[in-house]
Amino acid sequence: MEAEIGVIGGSGLYSLLEKAEEIEVKTKYGKPSSPITTGKIGNRRIAFLARHGLKHTIPPHLVPYRANIEAFSSIGVKKIIASGAMGSLKVDYKPGDIVFLDQYVNMTHGRQDTFFDGPNVIHLSASEPYCKSLRKSFVDKAVDLGLRYHVSGTVVVINGPRFSTKAESRFFASQGFDVINMTQYPEVSLAREKGMCYIGIGIVTDYDSGLEGREDIKPVTNAEVLRVFEKNVKLIRNLINTTVPELEKGQKSCGCGKLA
- The CA distance from 43 to 244, in Å, is 9
Q: Give per-residue pLDDT as tens, 4-59.
A: 999 998 756 656 776 778 899 999 999 999 999 999 998 899 999 999 998 889 99
When pLDDT is cut at 50, 70 and 90, the band that residue 72 belongs to is: very high
- The CA distance from 225 to 205, in Å, is 5
Domains of the chain: 5-246 (3.40.50.1580)
- The CA distance from 151 to 171, in Å, is 24
Instruction: Specify the pTM.
Output: 0.92
**So what's the pLDDT on residue 228?**
64
- DSSP one-letter string for 98-111: EEE--EEEE---S-
| Residue 230 Cα distances to 10, 117, 226, angstroms | 10, 38, 6
Sequence-distant (6+) residues with CB within 8 A of 130 are: 101, 102, 103, 188, 198, 199, 200
- The CA distance from 176 to 97, in Å, is 18
**Looking at the annotation, which residues are catalytic?**
206, 208
Q: Give per-residue pLDDT as tens, 192-242.
A: 999 999 999 999 988 876 555 566 666 656 666 666 667 777 888 899 999
